[in-house]
Chain A
Amino acid sequence: MARVYFEEISKRFGGTHALRDLTLEVDDEEFFVLLGPSGCGKTTALRIAAGLEEPTAGAIYIGDRDVSFVPAKDRDLAMVFQNYALYPHMSVRDNVAFGLRMRGYARDEIERLVQEVTATLGIADLLDRKPGQLSGGQRQRVALGRAMVRRPQAFLMDEPLSNLDSKMRVQMRAELVRLQRDLAATFIYVTHDQVEAMTMGQRIAVLEGGKLQQVGLPQDVYDRPANRFVAEFIGSPAMNVLEGDLVVEGGHTAVRTPAGLVRVSDAASADVREQNITSLAVGIRPEHLTPEATESAAATSAAAASPAAIIEGQADLVESLGSEQHVTVVAGGWSVVANLPSSPRIERGATLRLAVAAEHVHLFDIESGERVGP
Chain B
Amino acid sequence: MSNKPELLSVESVRVQFPDGTVGLSSASFSAQQGEIIAIIGRSGAGKSTLLRCLNGFQEITSGEIYVSGESVHSMGNTELRRLRRQIGFIWQEYNIIDRLPALTNVLTARLAHNNPWQSAVGFFGSEHRKIALHNMQRLNLMHRATLRADRMSGGEKQRLSIARALTQEPDIILADEPVASLDPELAWQVLSDLSRVTREDGLLTILTLHQVHLAVEFADRILGIAEGRIVFDGPPSALDDEAQTKIYGGRLPQLHTSEENYLKAMA
Does A pair with B?
no
User: Could you list which residues of chain B lie within 8 angstroms of chain A, going by C-beta atoms?
Assistant: none
